[in-house]
Amino acid sequence: MDIRRFDPDDGDAVRGWAAVRTASSAHDAPWEHEPTEHFTLGQLRHGWDGEPQVPFLGTVGGVPVAAGAISTSERDNLHVAWVSVDVLPDRRRQGLGTTMLRHLEAEAARMGRTSVGISCWDVDGLEAFGLAHGYERRAVGVNRRQYIAEIDARALDVLHDEAAAAAADYELVRRRDRTPDDELEALAVMASAINDAPKEGLDIEDEVFDAARIRAYDDAQVSRGFALHRLVARHRRTGELAGQTVVVVDLERPHLADQHDTSVVAAHRGHRLGALLKTGMLQWLREDQPQVAEIDTWNAESNGFMIGVNEALGYRVMGREFDLQRSL
């Protein structure tokens, strides 16, 4: 197999890489939405917050058979590289996955990274590949999906009113797309509360947030063609930011939305802010994006608090995911 790194401007490579990943996902996680070319290009150009993954295409006789990628950050976790490996379903068990993984590990080592992570669905045989290459399971994540049509609008309003009564010292502030410049610093301090989400056994450090990173996240999401909805809880008396929840709507397929961070700062926990934010977001989307039909979310399996809120809102489990890691 020939493996080469490619650039997002290389249209043939982008399409070949996306086709392998689409076939792989259809085989192992059929509930996932097919990544469109626009989605894939956005992913490769902007990533989550301006540090996009570097993609590799594996071909045999010029035909794409394997897709790899490596993600690293220069902001924190300088020891870690996350990789992904996908092989066309009908070309598996021929050593192609191993060849791609070895290539990515060598690339990670060349970048000075000493630990490699890889994720896979809880589907027969996938974890076995990682275990066969010296990786260990370190965390379990769950992908849930909420179907908006299943939400009882009146029950949602009742849940929201109950939370609002317990959180009377707080107000909700709606922010669309890019955060105003003068709010970036305070938002960065508040956003770092996401580091309290369980890391389980992963060898990772807290993520470092500053104003530039919030700006980079907003820019990446908006540039990818997502409508960004950020709902912030603000303490009325001090003006302190207490928590947030973020949902992005895919403007290319506006019935699809993804839940991003939800966090409440430790000093402000215990006032039902998690429920207030999540129900407040659904009310906002109902007004602003009434065509949204589904919201996907990912949580650590051990994140009982967040899952409790999600289950109350009718999220359904779609799949479990394992995060594996090994040191090089």
Ligand X SMILES: CC(C)(COP(=O)(O)OP(=O)(O)OC[C@H]1O[C@@H](n2cnc3c(N)ncnc32)[C@H](O)[C@@H]1OP(=O)(O)O)[C@@H](O)C(=O)NCCC(=O)NCCS
The 40-79 contact track toward ligand X, x by CB under 6 A, reads ----------------------------------------
What residue type is assigned to position 242 of the chain?
A: A
Q: Based on the number of CB atoms within 10 Å of its own CB, is 11 exposed (0-12), middle (13-18) or buried (19 or more)?
A: exposed
Residues facing 316 on adjacent strands = 145
Phi, psi torsion values for 222, nearest 5 degrees? -65, -40
Question: Rounded to the nearest whole angstrom, what is the least distance from the CB of residue 139 to ligand X in the complex?
Answer: 13
The 289-308 contact track toward ligand X, x by CB under 6 A, reads --------------------
**Contacts with 25 (C-beta within 8 Å, 6 or more apart), sequence order:** 32, 34, 35, 86
Question: Rounded to the nearest whole angstrom, what is the least distance from the CB of residue 116 to ligand X in the complex?
Answer: 11
Q: Are 262 and 277 spatial neighbours (Cβ–Cβ below 8 Å)?
A: yes
Q: Which of 26, 132, 173, 267 binds ligand X (CB under 6 A)?
A: 132
Phi, psi torsion values for 70, nearest 5 degrees? -135, 130
Cα dihedral 154, 160, 161, 162 sign = positive
CA distance 326 to 155: 46
Name residues contacting ligand X, limited to 1-40 (CB under 6 A).
24, 28
# residues contacting ligand X (CB under 6 A):
21
The 82-121 contact track toward ligand X, x by CB under 6 A, reads ---xxx----xxxxxxx-------------------x-x-
Residue placing its CB nearer to ligand X in the complex, 94 or 327: 94
Residue placing its CB nearer to ligand X in the complex, 28 or 49: 28
DSSP designation for 23: H
Give me the residues that bind ligand X (CB under 6 A), please. Answer: 24, 28, 85-87, 92-98, 118, 120, 125-126, 128-130, 132, 324
